[in-house]
């Protein structure tokens, strides 16, 4: 059933471009999968999305003629297991795929699936013979990223740097946690959870549902990537400050700000989506952060205010979190064209809330210049009452974090 669930999720993604996490969760619940089987279905499904082009390249080496979409999907899942899941015996990957064919009424394709996957099994441990090594085309197939994305990366980082980012995109991301120091120390949290300190931050070495742990239920930590946490650190908050998190969901920056201030002051968490804002409020309650106040609102309608620090974590392409959300790489490039205009509009509006001498922190979870430096530079040209203080881009390959951009700009005090 885990493989069938992964197959159904792949079909929904292929047919409807359905969001992967939501699709998988709903299908796992419908099929009655337990935690272990859901984890296996997720590993196969997400892993296949991370390696879709490479799986297709491998399949097309051994399959002749046009394949029905469902049969190709079965071959994709089988190929991924054979090439990337060492703990699954080749016979199991092949036989389960053949069984899926028969169960789903593709009896005539069972022989083809069996023959192709046996050929694929012989490729285990071998470097795929992709032509054009050293070119963007090679990287597109080897790491299953679209050509436009690979091209932008190569422009920024060169061939070797782009390959390093693409490799990181296809790796399992660590689960970084932040200690709620209003309730516990790192040592106290480590007594309850298997943690290890890395250059990137505090990593949780544990699988399974975090929400069921004692430490989570007691509000001793929250999950947040170090790069996102660095956006809050850039504001240099102190107890008693008045802070606005203008695009707050899912709440990580609001929580980090409240903790940084020792839960003394005000963190106003706003978001246009009431459902997501309700989750922020629930998270703040779990963490015991009384200074977080949630308020629905459109960031574009931000009024003038007297906030000491304002966070503008705006909607973006999300290319920095591909390793967590592998299907983001398949968004059409055309969908990204209008993002800088929206980001600029939001930044200009949110900036109205910063008091003279206050701090404005713009951030995105992408490495694209068009959504980062181009936006902040244009903002600073049009707002001479702001000055850049710090700016940094985080990379998954060199920093071990999400791909992320932070720019702090302070409002100049008027004399």
- Statement: residue 202 has pLDDT above 90: yes
Number of H helices, E strands in the chain: 16, 11
Whether 58 has a pLDDT exceeding 80, the answer reads yes
Structural domains present in the chain: 2-121 (1.10.940.10), 136-169 (no CATH), 224-411 (3.40.50.150)
The answer, yes or no, to whether residue 19 has pLDDT greater than 70, is: no
Which residues in 86-220 belong to E strands, given as ranges?
Answer: 177-179, 195-197, 202-204
- Predicted confidence at residue 18, as pLDDT, reads 64
pLDDT of residue 368: 97
CA–CA distance, 199 with 65 (Å, rounded to integer): 50
User: Of 22-26, 38-42, 63-67, 289-293, which one has max mean pLDDT?
Assistant: 289-293
Q: Is the pLDDT of residue 415 over 60?
A: no
Q: Residue 97 to residues 3, 8, 35, 101: CA-CA distances in angstroms?
A: 8, 13, 22, 6
* pLDDT 10s digits, 143-200: 999 999 999 999 999 999 999 999 999 998 999 999 999 999 999 999 999 999 988 7
Counted residue by residue, the chain has a size of: 415
DSSP 310-378: EEEE-----GGGTTTSGGGGGS-GGGGTTHHHHHHHHHHHHGGGEEEEEEEEEEES---GGGTHHHHHH
* 93-122 pLDDT, tens digit each: 999 999 988 988 888 889 999 999 999 999
Q: Which residues contact 112 (CB under 8 A, 6 or more apart)?
A: 63, 71
Q: Please tell me whether residue 109 adopts helix, strand or coil conformation.
A: helix
Per-residue pLDDT at 230 exceeds 80? yes
**pLDDT of 363 higher than 80:** yes
pLDDT band of 31, cuts 50, 70, 90: confident
Q: What is the mean pLDDT of residues 230-249?
A: 97
pLDDT of residue 261: 98
Average pLDDT over residues 48-66: 92
| Predicted local confidence at residue 258, as pLDDT | 98
Radius of gyration of the chain (CA): 23
């Amino acid at each position: 059933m885990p493989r069938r669930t992964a197959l159904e999720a792949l079909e929904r993604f292929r047919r409807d471009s359905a969001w992967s996490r939501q699709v998988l969760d709903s299908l796992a619940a419908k099929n009655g999968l337990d935690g272990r089987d859901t984890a296996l279905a997720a590993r196969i499904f997400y892993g296949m999305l991370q390696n879709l082009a490479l799986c297709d390249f491998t399949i097309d080496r051994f399959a002749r003629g046009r394949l029905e979409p469902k049969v190709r999907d079965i071959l994709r899942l089988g190929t991924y297991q054979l090439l990337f899941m060492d703990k699954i015996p080749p016979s199991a990957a092949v036989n389960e795929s053949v069984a899926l064919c028969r169960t789903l009424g593709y009896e005539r394709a069972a022989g083809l699936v069996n023959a192709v996957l046996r050929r694929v099994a012989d490729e285990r441990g071998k470097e795929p013979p992709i032509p054009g090594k050293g070119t963007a085309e090679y990287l597109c197939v080897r790491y299953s990223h679209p050509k436009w994305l690979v091209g932008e990366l190569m422009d920024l980082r060169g061939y070797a740097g782009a390959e390093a980012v693409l490799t990181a995109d296809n790796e399992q991301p660590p689960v970084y946690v932040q200690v709620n120091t209003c309730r516990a120390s790192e040592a106290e949290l480590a007594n309850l959870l298997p943690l290890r300190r890395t250059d990137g931050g505090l990593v949780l070495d544990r699988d399974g549902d975090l929400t069921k742990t004692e430490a989570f239920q007691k509000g001793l930590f929250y999950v947040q990537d170090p790069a996102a946490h660095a956006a809050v650190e850039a504001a240099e908050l102190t107890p008693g400050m008045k802070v606005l998190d203008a695009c707050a969901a899912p709440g990580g920056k609001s929580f980090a700000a409240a903790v940084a201030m020792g839960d003394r002051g005000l963190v106003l968490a706003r978001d246009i989506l009431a459902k997501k804002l309700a989750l922020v409020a629930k998270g703040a309650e779990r963490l015991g952060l009384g200074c977080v106040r949630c308020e629905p609102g459109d960031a574009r309608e931000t009024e003038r205010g007297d906030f000491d620090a304002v966070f503008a974590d705006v909607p973006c392409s999300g290319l920095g979190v591909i390793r967590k959300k592998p299907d983001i790489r398949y968004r059409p490039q055309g969908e990204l064209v209008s993002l800088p205009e929206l980001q600029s509009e939001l930044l200009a509006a949110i900036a109205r809330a910063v008091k003279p001498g206050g701090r404005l922190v713009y951030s995105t979870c992408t490495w694209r210049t068009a959504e980062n430096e181009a936006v902040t530079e244009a903002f600073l040209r049009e707002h001479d009452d702001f000055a850049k203080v710090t700016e940094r881009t985080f990379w998954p390959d060199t920093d071990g974090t999400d791909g992320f951009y932070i720019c702090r700009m302070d409002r100049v005090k008027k004399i």
